[in-house]
Homo-oligomer: A and B are copies of this chain.
């Protein structure tokens, strides 16, 4: 008997019919003799609809009140799923985030899980029940309801799997797994059988379907995460610890090509080249909740001033520019330039750091395709280039072909 945590997203429980389908899938797992805890998101677009409803009574809804409001979305989906299972003759129970022991800090709107108290879930499992848990929500020490922000339900699922010492955490979604590139862009994209946490983190950060926070949590607590389709039984992708050293050499060095199209760049020119300038620029951006991705600082010719460039999501550009313009006098910047027509493409692979030549091969492929590179950043297992947005899909296809990912692994 294994213990699984399953997670179904909003599109998988969008209506009564889909909820009954999920109930049947869970019943099969139970019939096979396994224990299963299922984390569910709100039905379809419920969360967006509740946000719109809030805005009918308040221009800027209070974050604490908004979280209590949004938490109702998952309460609806968990109770319906539990009722559907009971209607099929199975003993099921739904638990709110609070009831399932999901404890968080009090950062409303994007709370972080501080602990999971799995006593109630364990008790219900021991009673032979299928347990359905509300994703995306938790309880503060003051007993206020929080929501976990983007990727929240995945995070709930992995955190529960860690706390319960589950055999695996299955994330069921509207794609069949993790691919070597976006299948909508690259016809020959291959589904990965498995992928390491760190590779997946780089893929996720660079545009693949999962939010990085749940993968980070999986890596820390060594929870195997299986990503598969909720609408089919096709095999998915297993995200797990890097395979043993002996298999290392056999692995393809490049795992996949990722991209993001909503990239905007800000360049602050003529900044005084002295300690503390970078902090003076980026601390206010962090306080304003603006996530900065790539940062590049060039050495200046005269060594008294420098240029700093960074990228943000295009949706954050206006706010970022407002902050930077406010800081302009303090950091002695001469000029601020921005460009919101950019994209990033990344080559990701855990084997890359041991083998030279991947970066130059990437640059050559892009150059041969006539694609200009605006900025470059690298990590241990990722090389990313900022390029023109209109060439993003071309770049992904060229890189996928150039690194021979079209061949079955």
Contact = CB atoms under 8 A, between A and B. Distances in A.
Interface in A328-372: none
A86 B68 contact: no
Oligomer: number of copies: 2
A96 interface: yes
Interface string A21-62: 001000000000000000000000000001001101111111
A71 interface: yes
A317 interface: no
A291 interface: no
Contact of A76 (B61, B72, B143, B144): B72
> SS class of chain A's interface: helix, strand, loop or mixed?
helix
A99 B146 CA distance: 13
Interface in A198-255: none
A37 to B, nearest CB: 16
A155 interface: no
A126 B72 CA distance: 28
Contact of A83 (B62, B82, B94, B144): B62
A79 interface: yes
A212 B270 CA distance: 77
Nearest to A56: B16
Nearest to A70: B79
Contacts of A99: 143-144
A93 B76 contact: no
A396 interface: no
A165 interface: no
A391 interface: no
A162 interface: no
Given A64-B93, A94-B65, A144-B99, A58 B72 contact: no
Contacts of A76: 50, 53, 69, 72
B58 A86 contact: yes
22 contacts: A16-B53, A16-B57, A50-B76, A53-B76, A54-B83, A57-B80, A57-B81, A58-B83, A58-B84, A61-B83, A62-B82, A62-B86, A66-B79, A66-B83, A68-B94, A69-B75, A71-B75, A72-B72, A72-B75, A98-B143, A99-B144, A120-B143
